[in-house]
Structure 1
Amino acid sequence: MHPQRDRAQLAMKDVSKAYGDRSVLDQVTLTVRPGEKTAVIGENGSGKSTLLRLMAGAEQPDTGEITVRFPGGTGYLAQTLDLDPSDTVQDAVDAALAELRDLEHRIREAEAGLSERKPGDPGPTDQELAAYGDLLTAYEDRDGYRADARTEAALHGLGLAHLTRDRALATLSGGEQSRLALACVLAAAPELLLLDEPTNHLDARAVVWLEDHLRSHRGTVVAITHDRAFLERVTSVILEVDRDLRTVTRYGDGWDGYRTAKAAARRRWAQEHEEYLTDLARTEELVAAAGARLAATGGDPKQGFGKHRRSHEAKLSGQVRAARTRLDALRRSPVPPPPRPLAFTGRPAVTDGPGTGDRDGTATGTGTGDRDGTATGTGTGDRDRTATGTGAADRERTATGTATRTGTGDRARPLVELDAVSVGDRLRLPSLRVASGARLLVTGENGAGKTTLLRVLAGDLTPDTGTVIRRARIGYLPQELPARPTRRTLLATFAAGRPGFPDEYADDLLALGLFRPEDLDVPVASLSVGQQRRLALARLVTRPADLLVLDEPTNHIALSLVEELEQALDQYPGAVVVVSHDRSFRARFTGDVLELRAGRPADAGPAYASGEAAVPRT
């Protein structure tokens, strides 16, 4: 065991934390053992960052005890960075290494005190030698001799090798500042690392470097993350923060152990529900049978007379009372069924072959996202036309992109057709066809035009030039939530656009297991980001659609729900066009890939080889 690990400790006991009247954590008790690589997961707004701030000492609990004792130091990376814009890169590095620099200074002072002795002076005392030895041990435990080398390695590994040390922080992008803060925390090599979303702003190469670095870290790691690939490679323990219950549950054996435990819990829940139904039915039969026997005693001479009859009636009455008491208890404390798995409501659209049917499609309506941002658009068959203008020149430079997985290819008319579409300088797409049953993953760097393309497909954005034809009901999940959410209640928003009254849809919403009954009357504006995203998913999966247009569908939701969403998409028979930065989602995606660069289709390459897709080409 590492010499300091037996003295290290991170524990919480009965910790509660609230902001105003909003309780975030309630009576949380947990332990992180020395050397563990621990991930904190949960949907946005569940209290993950609060938990980490409490561990770091950046905030104090309202009640309860927190013990954080790591002789090798603690490094904390917050989501919101505290860097002075006037500082330089070197200032940031020096601040991160302040404890090591202090140790170096004290070691030099101790060495000077031990060496600056005149002839005849007594030698160093045992206390002086012991103090000097303790300083050296502390410095070596922090691997202080390699601090500068670690700094260079971290800057290089996180893609910051180009930064000069005199560069002002104000001149760095937000992503560069985040990576610099992470590099500084890692360079200090504290025994305990507390990291809030460390993979944010990292490219694929930097993420792999970070994973390797944390796997080899000799101390303890607690990291908030939504990255399942990171969980699989790095973590040995999962702490799940439940926003609704305001609790934290610990799972061992890493990500696989977490998934296994959650599946087992669901099976137990289903079994307990079945046992409850069986017990309820049996008790109802007992009550009915005992009541019938009691009623029959009054006219049955075989039951005897006098005290014998009264004794028999009393016995039956007692049985009836006991059965009714048991029945009342069961009805007061029902065991509900587990939430039904997510499943999209939809069936593939049927489109006419070439030359048949009207050019404007087979359905009506237009796909637009609801103004509250929580629902997804439907709508089909509309044709958006704009003046072609500059589009003609683009058509000469590039050809056609098609996504299909049904094999109907040229015979069936596409669900959506885009021709010579442009949106400012954000998107210039010569042609795109989305066929029934297609699967298309749109990739590209930030700002490449991915979201713009999805908005055009869904009908949420009208292009400046070009033609868009839709022949499908479209379900659209936008990436961003509205800046000003509606004041309508959760249930009213879920039911918006459907016939009848909102209360008629309460059971449908609750059956998904995404909300509790007490949530239904809460205004959407009062919901957390994660809850608003759950509401958007609830609307999406319960509305028929032939084409799903999904922009970062795994954002802001609990990882258990992410896995359900993936399984639902696997079973969905309609077409899907999706943008996602989720590495696990992308790795399991089966279909075609369209890469955008500066708003234009990239050259054809190996990524386009799957399926029957014809690729954009120049």
Structure 2
Amino acid sequence: MITAHQLEVRAGARLLMEDVSFRVAAGDKVGLVGRNGAGKTTLTKILSGEALPASGSVQSTGEVGYLPQDPRSGDPEVLARDRILSARGLDDVVRRMRTAETEMGSDDPEVRERAMRRYTRADAELHAGGGYAAESEAATIAHSLGIEDRILAQPLKTLSGGQRRRVELARILFSGAEILILDEPTNHLDADSIVWLRDFLKAHSGGFIVISHDNGLLEATVNKVLHLDANRAVMDVYNMGWKAYLTQRETDEKRRKRERMNAENKAKTLTDQANKMRAKATKAQAAQSMLKRAEKLLAGVEGERRADKVAHIVFPKPAPCGKTPLTAAELSKSYGSLEVFTDVDLAIDKGSRVVILGLNGAGKTTMLRILAGVDRADTGRVVPGHGLKIGYYAQEHETLDTGRTVLENLQSAAPQLTDTEARSVLGSFLFSGDDANKPAAVLSGGEKTRLALASLVVSSANVLLLDEPTNNLDPASREEVLAAIRSYEGAIVLVTHDEGAVHALEPDRVLLLPDGDEDLWNDEYADLVSLA
């Protein structure tokens, strides 16, 4: 159980919410919602014990499993299977058993005997922790999330960002924690995995808090909604399912509007009457009393909800370039013995629209990183054409320098901007006032997305490499990104699970990985997007 009592939450000097109290017990399946920047990720960090509130307290009983938006993947040398097993402390046991098994094949009888004793002890520990059934359970969860056996056998350092995130999700679900806190758990999941996750959460006997922009997941699983209203700096608690919440929230907004209008009308009448009476000395005291009543009326109702602010996103007018600004020839990439792709050719013409498709782990992100010059191919070459200027959006936000502020990150992307111009751009991306001075390290996933997109906007790039650009965005911000993709005049190479993003792109070509086959786009490929 998690109990929050009179929490005050701030981002620097900015108040996100105050006097917030609620409880999550077994059976409470909670959707935590609110626009980007409302404080959802900050609140989950506080609830998981990774951050402290400005005031108030959080108490938890039982184990809490937390999947952050940017999960930490542990030791990069650890195998993916062992990372998942570590949720129940079984990873060390399994490693000792593997080592003992190897030594049991030694020619030295003393080494064999010691190894057998170690194996027996480790085997007993494994049984005490759930035995081989626990290993089987971990494997089942992993497979249900699209993590194949070959991936489970790889070190974390060889996995893509999407694969690492799925490993972390599998680890949290395997942990057996009574309360789960999941921040955007459907990121990087294919359609089948999302359906499986819905069923898992519906069957979970404990409680959970989930942040998600997947309305289908929320509708299928939650029985309680916590809505963070950034305009009012409060949390509204709805003890009901998703559809009922949407209806009730609209009713509440209409009620607040009526109450505000009635209070304003009454206050205006009192104020007008007081102004007439103040001219007469004998009625001055009565007039003052009326003014106080008017102020009390206005203070006693909640302000009408202002429309949520949305970042206004327009990708840059591309700098002049040649007919084919970017060419790649015979690209190959491997991680140890794992071959990702081989002999891939690609030519990006001026203004072309290319989508890269492939199953998770096929090398889509790796391909973009090589095209962007972040990683090097094992073989082949990337050839910049005349006037090439690349704008790279990384799904894990690696292009941001977390040791620098929001303002410094933007200025590094566009050194020609004055301080005033840079702050103006940041304001259009909802970073106002002191927000510009926040370290990038403390930003939520949605805020990092906005900052990375702002850096693209000022780049004057003529080739955009976009890796999952709609992840972590609320519906209104996502629509802004889709509109920016539609209207951009330069070339775009896109990796996405978002069918809407591909529709906005209107691709003319598709690159299929890991085979490297290139084809003209047709609607039959659209069915592969959500599976990729």
TM-score range, shorter chain: 0.5 to 0.7
Judge conservation of contact 1:48–1:224 (CA < 8 Å) in 2. Answer: yes
Structure 1 residues 189 and 580: alpha-carbon distance in aligned structure 2, compared to 1, 3 A threshold: same
Tell me the number of residue pairs that the alignment of Structure 1 and Structure 2 aligns.
Answer: 456
- Secondary structure of the 1:154 match is helix
Partner residue, 2:523? 607
Q: Where does residue 12 of structure 1 map in the other structure?
A: 4
Structure 2 residue corresponding to 1:383, chosen from 311, 318, 321: 321
Instruction: Give SS of 1:150's match.
Output: helix
Q: State whether structure 2 residue 103 is matched by structure 1 residue 186.
A: no
Amino acid at match of 1:153: T
**Distance change >3 Å, CA 478–CA 203, structure 1 → 2:** same
Q: In the alignment, what sits opposite 1:514?
A: 430
3-state DSSP class of the match of 2:200?
helix
Question: Which residue of 214, 223, 236 corresponds with 2:210?
Answer: 223
Change in 2 beyond 3 A, CA 1:202/1:14:
same
1:18 touches 1:25 (CA, 8 Å); kept in 2? yes
Which residue of structure 2 aligns with residue 429 of structure 1? Answer: 346
Give the structure 2 partner of residue 155 of structure 1: 142
Aligned counterparts of 1:22 and 1:525: Cα–Cα separation in 2: 16
TM-score by length of 1: 0.51
Deviation for aligned residue 1:186: 3.5
Decide whether the 8 Å contact of 1:38 with 1:236 is kept in 2.
Answer: yes
Shift of 1:153: 1.9
Q: CA deviation at 1:158?
A: 3.3
- TM (norm. structure 2) is 0.57
Identical aligned residues as a percent: 23
**Contact 1:240-1:250 at 8 Å conserved across structures:** yes
Q: 1:528 to 1:220 in 2, by over 3 A?
A: closer
Is the Cα contact below 8 Å between 2:310 and 2:477 reproduced in 1? Answer: no
**Structure 2 residue 91 is matched with structure 1 residue 93:** no
Structure-to-structure mapping, 1:191-590, within 5 angstroms: 191-199=178-186, 202-225=189-212, 227=214, 230-240=217-227, 248-251=235-238, 256=243, 286=272, 290=276, 314-315=282-283, 338=307, 377-380=316-319, 382-384=320-322, 418=324, 421-422=327-328, 425=331, 428-430=345-347, 432=349, 434=351, 443=357, 445-447=363-365, 449-450=367-368, 464-466=383-385, 478-479=393-394, 480=397, 481-483=399-401, 485=404, 488=407, 502=420, 514=430, 518-519=433-434, 522=437, 528=443, 530-531=446-447, 533-534=449-450, 552-557=468-473, 559=474, 561-562=476-477, 565=480, 577=492, 579=494, 581=496, 583=498, 585-586=500-501, 589=504
**CA offsets 1:264-307 (integer angstroms, 9 cap, x no match):** 677677778888998898889x489949x96xxxxxxxxxxxxx
Residues 209 and 477 (structure 1), Cα distance of their counterparts in 2 relative to 1, 3 Å cut: same
1:591 and 2:506 matched: yes
**Code of the aligned partner of 1:421:** T
Q: How many angstroms does 1:75 deviate by?
A: 4.6
**Contact in 2 for aligned 1:342/1:541 (Cα 8 Å):** no
Q: 2:28 aligns with which of 8, 27, 36?
A: 36
CA distance in 2, matches of 1:608, 1:452: 28
State whether residues 276 and 334 of structure 1, in contact with CA within 8 Å, keep that contact through their aligned partners in structure 2: no
Shift of 1:579: 3.4
Aligned residues of 2:388 and 2:462 also touching (Cα < 8 A): no
Contact 2:414 2:458 survives alignment (8 Å): no
Structure 1 residues 224 and 571: CA distance shift in structure 2, 3 A: same
Q: Aligned partner of 2:327: which letter?
A: V
From the superposition, tell whether residues 169 and 213 of structure 1 become closer, same or farther in structure 2 (CA, over 3 Å).
same
Over 3 Å counting, the alpha-carbon distance change for 1:236 and 1:149 in structure 2 is same
- The 3 A distance-change label for structure 1 pair 96 and 377 is same
Q: What corresponds to 1:363 in structure 2?
A: none
The amino acid of 1:383's aligned partner reads C
Q: Report the Cα distance in structure 2 between the residues aligned to 1:268 and 1:418, rounded to whole angstroms.
A: 58
* 8 Å CA contact 2:326, 2:384 repeated in 1: yes
SS state of the match for residue 27, structure 2? coil
TM-aligned CA deviation for residue 154 of structure 1: 1.9
Change in CA separation of 1:440 and 1:161 when aligned onto 2, cut-off 3 Å: closer
SS across alignment from 2:180: strand
> Structure 1 CA distance, aligned partners of 2:295 and 2:200?
59
Amino acid at match of 1:464: V
Q: 1:210 to 1:97 in 2, by over 3 A?
A: farther
**Counterparts of 2:80 and 2:447 in 1: how far apart (Å)?**
40
* Unaligned 5+ runs, structure 1: 1-8, 102-141, 295-310, 346-375, 385-416, 456-462, 611-618
Q: 1:275 to 1:533 in 2, by over 3 A?
A: farther
Three-state SS of the structure 1 residue aligned to 2:21 is strand
321-330 or 205-214, which moves further after superposition? 321-330
Structure-2 change in CA distance of 1:487 and 1:10 (3 Å):
closer
User: Do the aligned residues in 1 keep the contact of 2:76 with 2:155 (CA within 8 Å)?
Assistant: yes
Contact 1:151 1:187 (8 Å CA) reproduced: yes
CA separation in 2, counterparts of 1:144 and 1:343? Answer: 54
CA distance in 2, matches of 1:26, 1:156: 42
Quote how far apart the aligned CAs of 1:156 are: 2.9
Would the alpha carbon gap of residues 523 and 223 (structure 1) be closer, same or farther in structure 2, given more than 3 Å must change? closer
Shift of 1:464: 2.3
CA contact (8 A) 2:510 2:521 kept: no
- What's the counterpart of residue 105 of structure 2? none
2: CA distance, partners of 1:454 / 1:491: 18
Q: CA 1:578 to 1:34, structure 2 compared with 1: closer, same or farther past 3 Å?
A: farther
Q: SS of the residue aligned with 1:603?
A: strand
* Cα distance change on mapping 1:254 and 1:599 into 2, 3 Å: farther
1:392 maps to which residue?
A: none
Closer/same/farther in 2, CA of residues 289 and 180 from structure 1, 3 Å limit: closer
How large is the RMSD of aligned CA atoms in angstroms? Answer: 6.4
Cα offset, 1:210, TM superposition: 2.9
Cα deviations across residues 4-24 of structure 1 (Å, max 9, x unaligned)? xxxxx4432224578999988
Aligned partner letter, 2:518: A
Provide, for residues 52-74 of structure 1, a one-character-per-residue CA deviation record: whole Å limited to 9, x for no partner: 4655567777864545446xx65
Quote how far apart the aligned CAs of 1:192 are: 3.5
User: How far did residue 246 of structure 1 move?
Assistant: 7.2
2:80/2:167 contact within 8 Å kept: no
CA–CA separation in structure 1 for the residues paired with 2:355 and 2:265:
47
Distance 1:344 1:275 in 2: 38
